[in-house]
A and B are shown apart, each in its own frame.
Chain A
Amino acid sequence: MKKSQSIPWRIGIVLVICLMTMMIISFFYTPFGPNEMNTGSRLEAPSFSHPFGTDNFGRDILSRVMQGAQTAFLIGTSSVFIGLMFGFILGASAGYFGGWVDEIIMRFIDAMLAFPGILLAIMLISVFEPGLKNTIIAIGIMSVPGFTRIIRSSFIQYKTYDFVKASVAKGAGALRIIYHHILPNAFSPILVAATLSFSGAILGESGLSYLGLGVQPPDPSWGRMLKEAQPFIVTAPWYVIIVGVIITMMVLGFNLLGDGIRDKQDTKA
């Protein structure tokens, strides 16, 4: 593997590890209480005591960004999990069984794809009520079609391989073939899709929270912070810039990571 190819992947790793460390530290320590208001120090520029400055309620932005990382990772992980679980069931059945099963599942997925993801999420959240749990479910459902299609295509590909035919000949059941023979081989595209979908989930959450539909105040979420920073874009530009850069770092980190994993697989194949 050429060295130049691995640089983006290394940057991705570094970004993700940095943010993850920040998230882990926030469980034990934040410089200030994330919701602690100090009206005496509103909209302060970055300084030694507040490295990222303070917001319009005098809350420490660094502490809120750290706490917000928990929300981001929680939403990323759990919505990818939901998407992966349903995507696997649907994609594996469609790909492996083919025929009318495939037809029904894929038309259903097409119908879901017909709606832009975020619109679907907004619709779901308006029907139920906004909050962390429903945000996760909505973003999870939003990512089901993507997973289904990727998993289906690798199942269609591997289904025709000789080792699968051999197991069929030996009398192995469908479930056994799906889990023991095809899944391990389809692992790498799934991993790539999962990593990329993680960053998609974080963007989705930021978008929903920005619209006021995601995480509810006063709990910090990066999207909400962006929304709250907006009126102060001229008077306190660091607020919106810092939050924007953090979201960019997170999304970029996971994108680079996903790309890197895919490239590594490519060279191996």
Chain B
Amino acid sequence: MKKKLFIAFLLVFVIAFVLVGCSNSQNEEGKDANAAKPETKEATGSSVVRIAMSTEIDNLDPYKSAATDTGSMMDNVFDGLLDTNPKGELVGAIAKSYDISEDGLTYTFTLNEGVQFHDGSELTSEDVVASYETLAGMNGGEPIVAEFAVIDSIEAPSDYEVIFHLKEKNSAFLAANIVAIVPSDYEEQSSKPIGAGPFKFEAYKVGQELRLVKNENYYNHEKIPQIDEVQFKIMPDQESSVLAMQAGEIDVLPGVTQQGLTQLGDSINTVSGPQNMVQLLALNNDVEPYSDLKVRQAINLAIDKDTIIDTVSEGNGTKLGSNFSPAMEFYYEPGLEDYYATNIEKAKSLLAEAGYNDGFQMELTVPSDYQFHVDTAQVIAEQLSQVGIDVEIKMIEFSTWLEDVYQNEQYDTTIIGFTGKLDPYKILRRYVNDYERNFVNYDNEAYDELIDQALRATDEKDIAAHYKEAQRLLTEDAVSVFISDPDRTIAMSNHLEGLNMYPIQKFNLEDLHYTE
């Protein structure tokens, strides 16, 4: 009996050591495999790029899919009237140009001629009208794209011209036109999607992979992809996808951690940059003591964002001061990130002024699915203990978080990341008093006014000025603690390069090419 136990014990140790040994030797093997890579590519003849994706596809139909990752994969199959460049500026795609009337109520798009869907049929204004009627909910039902609710009527005077008449001025309308255009009389988007993008849908195996092939007839000749075939492999576990990349089974890894990078060493090319996300410690402005401006300012002063970036993001992040990332350069108000430079003494005196000499208990609800936010919570708990605030971390599942915190606003404080949107209105609308998802419960008429003015304005500069002013208000009122925009790093095998970072989760594979 005891002998058995001892053998079992010994075995555990032997296995443990073998495993540790393995990880080292795998490192070297991985490098060798990578070094041998270009040869295998030439041997097979056609170029296949394998990309790891962490989440399952929710729906192939672009109008029915809600998942961000699915969107960034299928974006390669579909094109919209407009597209975005890496700076977040709108550029023409299917539409070669657009014109906005003086009163801001009529938008005229001129389409490129000779655009073909993947089935060979030509894309004309008829398809655009049909797509937009579905998107705007004009055939009954809710609009799929909320911004399109403002569309009053659509006209197609010729095959290559579409005119939108809006009910009222809305500066957020334009940026929404990046949405996919689909063939008007095609009903099998969910099983075999057809678009006009640079890649064609080839096959999809649930839980395994999505295969796309190059669209030789892509209308934008400069952007016909170099890569013949792309295989998205579904790999939910971050660590195993790093190992797969090491072993040469994966060529591109979107979203790799610092640890993963260390592991991969110099066998890869990387691009990284802010992802237009806002990670924040949201304070429920309707709940005591966070309804008190001084308390909120004290919390802002006590939290050292640099430390959070250095530890949790391992130095790869951009410090924020308001609910806006510098990834959207044109609308970003710089200089707010140091508005509340860490000052423990000042924080303490502010708390004392607010009547909390001995500090208080803070309940911090964190979605447990995100280790990133859980780690941030631990650092914040430590930092706030210096001013006498006793943080109690409460971890809940993300689905519970969505219901309790995001919808029902049953919380004191929470940590979450808002993913990037292309339109500043969608980002800053979160703090407008009557917006239903204003779960921070910020209530400031001046702010609502600014956002409304930005929406009604027609001049780009005016719009930006209003949004900048709004960002400043959020900081001055210490609405929440805006922490950072964590960098996203894309790793590519060293025979690939060219992918770009976009302010929305976008994965433009036509940019990808082989190194010389």
Size of the chain B interface, CB-CB below 8 angstroms: 34
Q: In the complex the two chains form, is A56's CB within 8 Å of B377's CB?
A: no
Whether, in the assembled complex, B396 has its beta carbon less than 8 Å from a beta carbon of chain A, the answer is yes
Q: In the complex the two chains form, is A39's CB within 8 Å of B307's CB?
A: yes
| Across the A-B interface, the 4 shortest Cβ-Cβ residue pairs | A8-B2, A212-B368, A218-B378, A37-B382
Knowing that A57-B379, A248-B9 touch, tell me 20 more A-B residue pairs with CB under 8 angstroms. A7-B2, A35-B381, A35-B382, A56-B311, A56-B375, A57-B375, A57-B378, A57-B382, A212-B368, A216-B395, A217-B393, A218-B393, A234-B27, A234-B259, A237-B20, A237-B23, A241-B20, A252-B5, A256-B5, A259-B5
Pick the residue among B2, B310, B381, B395 that contacts A39 (CB under 8 A).
Answer: B310
Instruction: Name which residue of chain A comes closest to B263, CB basis.
Output: A234
Whether, in the assembled complex, B297 has its beta carbon less than 8 Å from a beta carbon of chain A, the answer is no
For A210-249 the 0/1 string (1 means CB < 8 A from B) is: 0010001110000000000011111101000100100010
Q: In the complex the two chains form, is A259's CB within 8 Å of B311's CB?
A: no
- Residues in B whose Cβ lies below 8 Å from that of A58: 311
A-facing residues in B388-420 (Cβ within 8 Å): 392-397
Q: Knowing A37-B311, A217-B378, A241-B16 are in contact, say whether A5-B23 is a contact too (CB < 8 A).
A: no
- Residues in B whose Cβ lies below 8 Å from that of A231: 238-239, 257, 259, 371
Pick the residue among A5, A35, A216, A233 that contacts B2 (CB under 8 A).
Answer: A5
A-B contact count (CB 8 A): 81
- Residues in A whose Cβ lies below 8 Å from that of B1: 259, 263
CB distance from A71 to the nearest CB of B (A): 15
For A254-269 the 0/1 string (1 means CB < 8 A from B) is: 0110010001000000
CB distance from A252 to the nearest CB of B (A): 6
Q: In the complex the two chains form, is A217's CB within 8 Å of B20's CB?
A: no
Whether, in the assembled complex, A129 has its beta carbon less than 8 Å from a beta carbon of chain B, the answer is yes
- Could you tell me the distance between the alpha carbons of A104 and B368 in the complex, rounded to whole angstroms? 40
Q: In the complex the two chains form, is B23's CB within 8 Å of A234's CB?
A: yes
Whether, in the assembled complex, B12 has its beta carbon less than 8 Å from a beta carbon of chain A, the answer is yes
CB distance from A250 to the nearest CB of B (A): 13
For A112-132 the 0/1 string (1 means CB < 8 A from B) is: 000000000000001001100
- Residues in B whose Cβ lies below 8 Å from that of A56: 311, 375
Whether, in the assembled complex, B46 has its beta carbon less than 8 Å from a beta carbon of chain A, the answer is no
CB distance from A9 to the nearest CB of B (A): 8
- Residues in B whose Cβ lies below 8 Å from that of A218: 378, 381-382, 393
- Residues in A whose Cβ lies below 8 Å from that of B20: 237, 241
- Residues in B whose Cβ lies below 8 Å from that of A129: 394, 396
For B1-12 the 0/1 string (1 means CB < 8 A from A) is: 110011001001
